[in-house]
Amino acid sequence: MSQYTAQQVHLKSRPAGLPTHDNFALVTVELPQPAAGEVLVKNLYMSVDPYMRGRMREDAVYAQAYALNEVMYGGAIGEVVESNDPSLSQGDIVLNQKAWQDRFVAPANTLVKLEPFDRAQLSLYLGTLGMPGLTAYVGLFKFGEPKPGETIFVSAASGAVGANVCQIAKQMGCRVIGSCGSDEKAQWLKNHCGVDEVINYKTCSDLNTALVAAAPEGIDVYFENVGGEHLQAAINSMNPFGRIAACGMISGYNAATPEPGPNNLMLIVGKKIRITGFIVSDHVDMREAFLSEMIPWIQTGKITSHETVVEGIDHAVDAFLGLFSGNNFGKMVVKL
């Protein structure tokens, strides 16, 4: 046995509705000594993401469900502490899928060695330079396909994906309308991301009316992160041949029984709207192109990021639950 232990968050039971702390357990386990080809890694940051809620279901849709009484997984950034493989050395920074634990032993060939452009901003590789940033890039370019001068509506606009969508679309010369759940987020979107109009969906009297007022000439692209009322309002405001990049529908993730859909779907026919769902993991071939554009955008200040950093693995569940009440401002990460 090695001298190391790890703290892990296990899924204890499958949530019905909004998860509670009772669905999870913080467990201490002993780690084996890394065998030949393996490394011991200390995670520095782990990501919490809305998709993890889907994996807590027995019938997870596009990925395997988390097993009960086992550690969950997801994106994390760690530092190699001990290496028994020539491809990695002590101190190397690795992107891994071993979130929800502070240390782990794994085969070196399952980890991605990073050459961080700035070691002080490692958590960016879980946000703007990571899966959410790539999601924004893929969803916008491949499925939203906005043209300069067009109007795009982005829901959950201040979030990890949404804020990148807004800023990339602004760079392309689009008019950008965002929606979010607080005035502080709205101010940031306007003042730091260049978003033209922001709707606080929690305080506006009617989302549909607010969207018509923000985009009197209609919208050409809707980047869908929320579902429900947001989707209904977007369809109402969509111009002919509009495109919907269906990225997620977080408003329904904790519904014990599925919510009824928008009541205006017939407009999709008359307006000839194209709706395309996508999953970022099908588009990893775009990662190189994405990084080659995104890193310079960050370095030249064209893309800015906001993060909410929660400290300690014992608060990782709080961080995850916070995603469903908008406690995160930008990318939610846990510092381990």
Ligand X SMILES: NC(=O)c1ccc[n+]([C@@H]2O[C@H](COP(=O)([O-])OP(=O)(O)OC[C@H]3O[C@@H](n4cnc5c(N)ncnc54)[C@H](OP(=O)(O)O)[C@@H]3O)[C@@H](O)[C@H]2O)c1
Question: Can you give the binding site for ligand X, defined by CB under 6 A?
Answer: 49-51, 132, 135, 156, 158-162, 180-182, 185, 225-226, 247-251, 278-280, 323-324, 326, 328, 331
Instruction: Name the minimum Å distance from CB 159 to ligand X.
Output: 2
CB of 137 to ligand X, least distance (A): 11
Residue 60: CB atoms within 10 Å: 14
Cα angle at 126 between 123 and 129, to 5 degrees? Answer: 95
**198 close to 310: Cβ distance less than 8 angstroms:** no
Rounded (to 5) percent helix, strand, coil in the chain: 30, 25, 40
Residue whose CB is less far from ligand X, 105 or 280? 280
Q: Is 52 helix (H, G, I), strand (E, B) or coil?
A: helix
Phi, psi of 280 (to 5 degrees): -60, -35
Sole residue written with tokens 């994906």: 161
Closer of 78 and 178 to ligand X (Cβ): 178
Length of the chain: 336
Dihedral sign for Cα atoms in the order 103, 107, 110, 112: positive
Tokens read off for 160: 């990890």
Closer Cβ to ligand X, 159 or 262, answer by number: 159
The set of residues, in sequence order, having a beta carbon less than 8 Å from that of 3 and lying 6+ positions away, is none
Give, rounded to a whole angstrom, the gap between the first and last alpha carbons of the chain.
Answer: 23
Q: Considering the complex, what minimum distance in angstroms separates the CB of residue 224 from ligand X?
A: 8
The 3-state DSSP class for residue 94 equals strand
**In the bound complex, which residue of the shown chain has the CB atom lying closest to ligand X?**
159
Q: Which CB atom, from 78 or from 162, has the smaller least distance to ligand X?
A: 162
Q: Which is nearer to ligand X, 18 or 31 (CB)?
A: 18
| Minimum CB distance to ligand X, residue 33 (Å) | 36
> What CA–CA distances, in Å, run from 212 to 132, 239, 299?
28, 12, 36
Instruction: Centre a 10 Å sphere on the Cβ of residue 314 and count the other Cβ atoms it contains.
Output: 12
CB 243 to ligand X: min, Å:
15
**Nearest distance, CB of residue 200 and ligand X, angstroms:** 8
User: Least separation, in Å, of the C-beta of 138 and ligand X?
Assistant: 8
Smallest separation (angstroms) from ligand X to the CB of 290: 13
Instruction: Tell me how far, at minimum, the Cβ of 17 lies from ligand X, in Å.
Output: 13
> Which amino acid, 331?
K
Contact 94, 113 (CB under 8 A): yes
Task: Tell me the pairing of strands 274-277 and 112-114.
Answer: unpaired
Dihedral over alpha carbons 133, 138, 143, 146 (to 10 degrees): 70
Q: Which is nearer to ligand X, 33 or 203 (CB)?
A: 203
Question: Closer to ligand X at the Cβ: 292 or 325?
Answer: 325
